[in-house]
Amino acid sequence: MSPIDGDDPWSSSDDDDMDDEVEDECFSFHSICSYNFKDASSSPTFDSLAAALEYDVSNYGFDLLQHLLPPNHEDFYEGAIILVNKSRAFVRENCNGSVDKLEIGEMLNTYLKGEALTISSAGDEANMVYFRPQLEDDAMLMFIDELQALKGSQIGSNDDSPVMNTPSDNESVKQLQLKIELLEEQLSQAKKCIASFAMEENGEKSPSSSGQTKKLNAPDNDTYYFSSYSNTSIHETMLRDTVRTAAYESAILSNAESLFRDKTVMDIGCGTGVLSLFCAKAGARKVIAVDNSDILSQAKQIIELNGYGHVITCVHGKIESLIQESALPLSEGETVDIIVSEWMGYALFFETMLPSVLVARDALMTKVTGTMFPNVAKVFIEGANDQERLSYWDNVHGIDMKPMKQRMIEELTEEGLVQIVDDNKIITNRAEMIAFDLNTCKDEELDFEAPFKLHLRNSSSGNESKMEVHQLIVSFDIGFSVEGTAKASFSTGCQSPPTHWKQTVLWFDPLHNCPVLRRDENDIMKGKFHMRRNAKNHRAIDMAVMWETGHFRSENECKWERTGEGVLKRSLHA
């Protein structure tokens, strides 16, 4: 059966990458003392945290639990992260094959006793470096709550007075409630802490390290998302994207009379307030600028500085919460005529902001006459060949470096990449896969599957007779196409001026299985493209492509001759 006839691309065994979701459910633990940083494959692995800790106790005389802060300490979670990473850093820097096992444990015990004071001071500046994992995919850092439980059990087993570890008969309900609140606060601090260094890894490491980031993401995926928009650089990047900013400016100002004059407008995710100011300049009677990041304080100043404080009202918070709490400056029954928002992410839906905008649309936008602006979004796909990058390793200053090809391909195929793709590398047509009417589409439709069909374009690489498709390139177009108004649009395709969204690149493995199109046979590549929100982090997206190559043997396209097939799965991780 053809792969595109299957029902579930996510569980297909044909995927070149393995199934990430299955892998994510399995954790392998490395003990502190036995991990070999020079030869990771020689390091023993354990199915449980307790087994890894016990191995160190039995073989090295090192008990990590002894060095942890008390389980009810307010800095337990941060201290545990620092302790694990400090311990691993010490082993990496000081222990080699010539050091006796018990000596390793003794050295580490001595070191940590001297560090006890700094570990208890989680906010100490010197400890900041130890919030970054020293070991990639360190499962210990994902099970801090289990470390806390094990520490508590150890204290209980060593205490001659068990009454101290359980509430007495006279302990008040109020005291119990205070304990619960303390534990909840500790959990909240841990989530923020883990999310913060997961963000650092995303910002400072290449896409090849994202497996680590994915596992370290805290359950609260909104915290880092809104926090990231508090940084000036992201707003500067968006504002300097003249394709994006000029398109919004032109679409709004050119429709001042036909659309915006005397209307009530809502700008969701207003950032610095630039779109709100465009709307005010276009004659809007009232603009409500909503953002959940602290950049809103600068937006207020900018709005006042430019003389539109009487038109634009800034509101801080998540739009869903503001609607639920009736916290927006709208009188009872009042609606908004236009919702302006720049919600797009990489591959259109990365960061998953559109669902929030749709909540506002359904709750607040004027029925029939109200509109989203922009109101159309389309997703495209095209094929590219990057033979130059592959061939580079054949001769590097006269040196044959072919072994580097496999390493490079392994890195490139770990996940989706975001980069500007030269149109000269595009070898197929750019095919529209799906279009969204933003005035009517539903949240559940944003996880979609769509058919596509690609063929070699005439200008591809000198019209060679056979071409390998090394990459699938995903991009999107945005349209301001309200009936009766001046139309405007912009594209993030390779053929258009670059934007800050760039393109999303999905690499095949050209050394093992990538599509091949033959011009003389009129080969095409067809299939189904699937996109969905990641189950563990709804800000991330998963993509799967079920593809096949071949050609039709008859003019009426009733006899298909297949020449290749496969399943490609990639993700963009937040």
DSSP states along 139-185: GGGG-HHHHHHHHHHHHHHH-S-GGGGS--TT--HHHHHHHHHHHHH
Residue that is written with structure tokens 């601090």 in the block: 189
Cα distance between residue 534 and residue 351, in whole Å: 10
Residues 6+ apart with CB under 8 A from 178: none
User: Which listed CATH number (3.20.20.10, 2.70.160.11, 3.40.50.1820, 3.40.50.1000) goes with 376-572?
Assistant: 2.70.160.11
Q: What's 477's DSSP letter?
A: E
Cα distance between residue 217 and residue 210, in whole Å: 10
Which residue in the list 342, 414, 415, 565 is annotated as catalytic?
342
Cα distance between residue 452 and residue 449, in whole Å: 10
pLDDT, one tens digit for every residue, the chain (574 residues): 555 555 566 565 455 444 444 344 457 899 999 998 888 888 899 989 999 999 999 888 999 999 999 988 878 888 889 999 999 988 888 876 667 778 888 888 888 887 765 555 555 666 777 888 888 888 898 888 889 999 988 776 655 433 334 444 444 554 455 445 555 555 555 555 555 555 555 554 444 334 433 333 444 555 545 555 556 777 788 888 899 999 999 999 999 999 999 999 999 999 999 999 999 999 999 999 999 988 999 999 999 999 999 999 999 999 999 999 999 999 999 999 999 999 999 999 998 899 999 999 999 999 999 999 999 999 999 999 999 999 999 999 999 999 999 999 999 999 999 999 999 999 999 999 999 999 999 999 999 999 999 999 986 455 678 899 999 999 999 999 999 999 999 999 999 999 999 999 999 999 988 999 999 889 999 999 999 999 888 889 999 999 999 998 876 667 889 999 999 999 998 7
In angstroms, the Cα distances linking 518 to 162, 464, 467, 524, 535 are 77, 9, 7, 8, 38
pLDDT value at position 49?
94
Domain 228-342 shares a fold with domain 376-572: no
Would you list the domain boundaries of the chain? 31-219, 228-342, 376-572
* Entry pTM: 0.64
pLDDT value at position 95?
77
At 568, is the secondary structure helix, strand, or coil?
strand
Catalytic site residue 351? Answer: yes
Reference 401, options 386, 409, 387, 391; nearest CA is 391
pLDDT value at position 459?
63
Q: 283 with 252: CB under 8 angstroms?
A: no
Compute the chain's Rg from CA coordinates.
Answer: 28
Question: Hey, what CATH class is 228-342 in?
Answer: alpha beta
Which residue in the list 78, 115, 249, 351 is annotated as catalytic?
351
